[in-house]
Structure 1
Amino acid sequence: MDNLEQLNQSDLEDFYRLYLYAFTNTDSEERRLFFNDRYNHSLKYGIKHNQKLSSGMLSIPFKINFHGVHYKMNGIGDVMSYPEFGGHGAITKLMQRAFNDMLHENVALSYLAPFSYDFYRRFGYEEVFDRTVYRIKNTDLPRIKIEEESGEIERLSLKEAIPFIKEVYANNPSSHNAGLIREDWWWDYLVLKHPGWQVGIYFSDDHLAAGYVIYEGVETTFKIQEIMFTNWESYQYLLRFICQHESMFFTFEYASGDPMGHPDILKNPANVDVKIEPYMMARIINLETFVQGYPFLKKIKSTRIAVTDKMIPANNGIWRLMVNANGTSFEKISNNENNMADIRVSIQELTKALLGYRSLTQLNRVGAIHGTYEAVTNLDATLRKDPPMLWDYF
């Protein structure tokens, strides 16, 4: 007999064993440390067959910063089953339970890292986060000259660096395009999961942290995890620090959360290999909560939007949106999404548009949504167009 349960501390060892088997990971003290920390900060779901764990999933409560608006977001991770229990709808049951609990907690969004984009689209998720991966040979690195020296770079372990860099991250505009608001436990988790990460911090003359680079050396490659800076001066110092490793590594690689490639920062852009790669997916969980808090750019006259969501029926229907001097009004006027509407859209395409991954005009042009020209263009003009950026993984 199969039972879907919310798991607790007593299920940790069984969940960990399933995790090792499902993802062919090797047990180690280091892995147990970061896994236990993630487990303890998550909502744990499992299906037990004859009282033995057969499938499991974590739902990790976070908050994200979307252009100054802070939303609840749950990250889905460790979605897994033993092979003999696959193909019987276990993941659908786990997802449905997690969605229901998120709705109850007024969670606006959910993110996940897919093993298959097609698989998770059936649950309403869509690709909204891309990365730009830069690769350059050490012989092609630029020569960085700083005319007037001020401040200094200090090298620290990630654990030592956190007190200095967490505010730089939190205040950086690059973390405000749907990026995580990193709580202290998440910073500590990153230390447990990535013991090899080091940090170069630029301190101004008054010893205030003004920028940092997180990196590690992997064989002959200098791998950059994250760069955050506050001004041109800090940017120059960080670039010089990176380039000063040219005699130690043959290749330099940076996987940036900014999906826009910037090869023009080099005098010879052809020297750097730039590749845009799909990264993580997202979906709107509580549509009403997300839209009510959305930072619209302009006023919107009354617009009827028909939304289809196969997994979360509460989002289905005709919604009337209006933004004026009194604020945002977003109310459901019909439970039947087939009734009269100005725009028709699935929850997936709406997620892409509202998060800024694709414009409504683009989606309408390729037939991903349907609506009158006036309604689409008017609503599109009010939405955020900055590409969403995610610097974390779970």
Structure 2
Amino acid sequence: MDIHIVSPNDYGQIHRLRDYCFPNKYTGARREDFHYWIEQSTTLGAYDHNKVVGQLLILPLNITVHGVSYKMGGIGFVATYPEYRQQGIIKRLMTEALQKMRDNGQTISVLAPFSVSFYRYFGWELFFEKLHYTIPQTLFPSLGKQVDVMKRMSFEWLDPALFQMIKDFHNALAIVQHGGMVRDEGWWKRIERRSPDSHFAVYFQDNNIEGYIRYTIQDGIFTIQDFVVANHLAEQAMWRYVTSHAASVSSITGVTSNHYPFGFYFKEPQFKREVKQDVMIRVVDVFAFMQQYPWKDIQETLTIRIEDPFCLWNEHVYQINKNGQVSIIETNSVSDKHMLTLPINLFSAMMVGYLSVKETVVYANQPTAEKIIEQWQRALPTEKPAFYEYF
């Protein structure tokens, strides 16, 4: 079995493998979108002679971590034909993908797991809890009567100038919001191909965009796909716009972050909520990641040992000095109790703020001096991430 980047001559085989292994066959715009990402991604194939029998795509994306933008590899469309399973093909594809991401400078990787335990084995970890909500008409929020300055468009009836303002606004927030992803033209095109019926509503204050939503209305359900606002006033204006559809819709559905006090200021916030954990993250290159990391208060030199059997380039002891400079040191120069020792999955979840330092140490089951825990707590930002993109 040979693992290498798929040549354009074999892209048809990637389509056939995806269509066979996933529940819905792509046609029309979705097939066109998938082909675009085959071309743009690092597309790996497992070959049995000239036949592609396994595949994995590394999408060239980005993610903001505590205000710093990192190149990110989005893992997607991982599959093998059933007659080739249980032969270690996916393991080889994942191992090759990690090397390719490091070569590409993709310091972080994100994926949507079909099995958490499967991808945790390769070093990925959960890092965001999505709150899916359904608000029946009887519990629609009432935020008073006010004339808000709103503009509206859709993919079908596009306003090019307004759309450019939406894209600029979205990316200006994504580059600073923890867990945000800047959307390039290819990603916006992907959204259009996958949801051509989307509408946009944009809220203006003093001729400036302060918020927008992207949504669909189908079978009496108002589905919010994007809800992006700069402040609380914009959030209230958006909800006034949404609930102005009360005569024609029976419920509102959407997704937000579980750590956000969603609906707190609604008069009746007791509607259906469901928490889902369906995204995982992994640091691919620990040294490069920590070199960019926005450390907070480092009062004494920090030391950490990383365990990462699938990325041996990460298996070192690292020191971070008071200026945030990172170096690799000899393993026997610091005792175990005076440093953190973490597997890569827990390190990744801790560094992006999903797990606290104390929680991480407990899950790692590594005895660590309380003083060391306190030093790391002061050094790390504590904001939790929110990642809403899907691939």
Scaled to the shorter chain, the TM-score interval is over 0.9
Deviations 1:6-43 (A, max 9, x none): 01322211100100001032242122111112212111
Matched residues in 1 for 2:240 and 2:128: separation? 29
CA distance in 2, matches of 1:28, 1:342: 53
SS of 1:389's partner is coil
Question: In the TM superposition, what whole-angstrom CA distance separates every residue of 1:345-391 from its partner, at most 9, and x where no partner exists?
Answer: 11111111100001011222455444211011111122111111112
In structure 2, relative to structure 1, the CA distance for the partners of 1:254 and 1:3 (3 Å cut) is same
Classify 1:67/1:338 alpha carbon distance in 2 versus 1 (closer, same or farther; 3 Å). Answer: closer
1:166 maps to a residue whose letter is K
Q: Is the 8 A contact 1:298 1:381 kept in 2?
A: yes
Residue in 2 that maps onto 1:52: 51
Matching residue of 1:241 = 241
2:106 is aligned with what amino acid?
Answer: V
Partner SS, residue 310 of structure 1: coil
Query: What is the aligned-residue identity percentage?
Result: 24
Q: Is the 8 A contact 1:318 1:335 kept in 2?
A: yes
Deviations 1:82-125 (A, max 9, x none): 00011111111111111112222332100000000011011100
Partner of 2:325: 329
Q: Give SS of 2:238's match.
A: helix
Q: Which amino acid is the alignment partner of residue 50 of structure 2?
A: Q
- The equivalent residue for 1:168 is 169
| Residues 369 and 278 of structure 1: CA distance in aligned 2, closer, same or farther (over 3 Å) | farther
Q: Distance in 2 between matches of 1:251 and 1:36?
A: 35
Aligned amino acid, residue 141 of structure 1: F
Aligned Cα root-mean-square deviation (Å): 2.2
**Normalized per residue, which structure has more strand?**
1
Give the whole-Å Cα distance in 2 for the aligned partners of 1:151 and 1:71. Answer: 35
The residue identity in structure 2 corresponding to 1:194 is: S
Structure 1 alignment gaps of length 5 or more = none
Aligned to 1:155: 153
In structure 2, the residue matched to 1:180 is 181
What's the CA shift for 1:141? 0.6
Distance 2:236 2:75 in 1: 37
Aligned equivalents of 1:10, 1:143: Cα separation in 2: 57
Q: Is the 2:148–2:237 Cα contact (8 Å) retained in structure 1?
A: no
> What amino acid is the match of 1:13?
G
Query: Tell me, what secondary structure is at the counterpart of 2:34?
Result: helix
| Rounded Cα–Cα distance in structure 2 between residues aligned with 1:162 and 1:85 | 46
In structure 2, what is the Cα distance between the partners aligned to 1:338 and 1:58?
Answer: 40
Q: Work out whether 1:210 is the aligned partner of 2:210.
A: yes
User: What TM-score comes out, normalization by structure 2 length?
Assistant: 0.93
**One-letter identity of the residue aligned with 2:196:** P
Shift of 1:205: 5.0
CA drift of 1:294 comes to 0.6
Per the alignment, in what secondary structure is the counterpart of residue 354 of structure 2?
Answer: coil
SS in 1 for 2:248: coil
Provide, for residues 270-319 of structure 1, a one-character-per-residue CA deviation record: whole Å limited to 9, x for no partner: 2x222322120000000001111111111241222111012101111211
Q: Which residue in the other structure is 2:260 paired with?
A: 260
Query: Mean Cα displacement is larger for which, 84-93 or 243-252?
Result: 243-252
Matched, 1:136 2:135: yes
SS at the partner of 2:310?
coil
Secondary structure of the 2:179 match is: strand
Aligned to 2:344: 347
Partner of 2:85: 86
SS in structure 1 of the partner of residue 322 of structure 2 = strand
Q: How does 1:42-121 map to 2 (within 5 A)?
A: 42-121=41-120
Alpha carbons 1:59, 1:98 under 8 Å: kept: yes
CA contact (8 A) 1:153 1:241 kept: no
Q: Alignment partner of 2:164: what SS? A: helix
CA distance in structure 1 between the aligned counterparts of 2:227 and 2:365, rounded to whole angstroms: 35
1:204, distance to aligned residue in structure 2 (A)? 3.5
Conservation of the 8 A alpha-carbon contact between 1:353 and 1:360: yes
1-side partners of 2:134 and 2:384: how far apart? 22
Identify the residue that residue 383 of structure 1 maps to in structure 2: 380
Does the Cα contact within 8 Å between 1:211 and 1:230 map onto a contact in 2? yes
Which residue of 1 is the match for residue 301 of structure 2?
Answer: 302
8 A Cα contact 1:162 1:187, kept in partner: no
Describe the SS at the equivalent of 1:190: helix
Unaligned runs of 5+ in 2: none
Structure 2 CA distance, aligned partners of 1:120 and 1:390?
18
